[in-house]
Amino acid sequence: MTYLPGLYVFMWGGGLEWDALINVFMSISIPYIVIADDDPEDAQMLAENFRLQNPGVEVACVDDGQQVLTLLIGQDVRQLPVMIVADYQMPQVSGAELFRLLQAQDKYRNITKVIWSTSCNKKHIEECLSHGADKYFVKPDEMAKLSSLVSDLTKIFKYAVIRAATDIDTGYLNNTFLQ
């Protein structure tokens, strides 16, 4: 694990189970996700379980939405995370506010955005979905449920990797992304 101010990055070697497609992306940049959660235990638990199901994928964890924005500023489109998983309630910038800010900028429209929260309040769910969240998960209270949630996140991540490198108009690999 590599520590940076307010950011810790998990990196692993090894191949991915979906080798044929991912090899193309690995030559560009390593597809990665960002987890934003002010509870470091929740972030680490999610990151470690995601890594177990997705060897070779990089996971960056930050404490709040403001740190996500700081991380994204100045990055080329090809350097952006494939997916952001954010807690709903965080200091400074909440998950819903983060996604509202990202939704307003075309550069970030292809990043898959997921909320995970202890709240199952329908108002919070609707707010997040209206601000660009692709999915809303309630944080599980036991390991078996966490494994199931990570399996769902893995499916979403794999789809997001394909979507990130596919030209929307033609359906072919996006040559701009590959350059």
Average pLDDT, the chain: 81
**Residue found by looking up tokens 């952006």 in the block:** 80
- Gap between the Cα atoms of 139 and 125, Å rounded: 13
Q: How far apart are CA 162 and CA 21, in angstroms?
A: 8
| Full DSSP string of 41-72 | HHHHHHHHHHHHHSTT-EEEEESSHHHHHHHH
Extents of the domains making up the chain: 2-178
Query: Is 2-178 CATH 3.40.47.10?
Result: no
Nearest of 51, 71, 67, 72 to residue 1 by alpha carbon: 51
Give me the pLDDT at residue 25, please: 44
pLDDT tens track for 106-144: 899 889 999 999 999 999 999 999 999 999 999 998 888
Give tens-digit pLDDT for 20-71.
444 444 444 678 999 999 999 999 999 999 999 999 899 999 999 999 999 9
Indicate the pTM of the whole model.
Answer: 0.79
Give the model's pLDDT for residue 163: 78
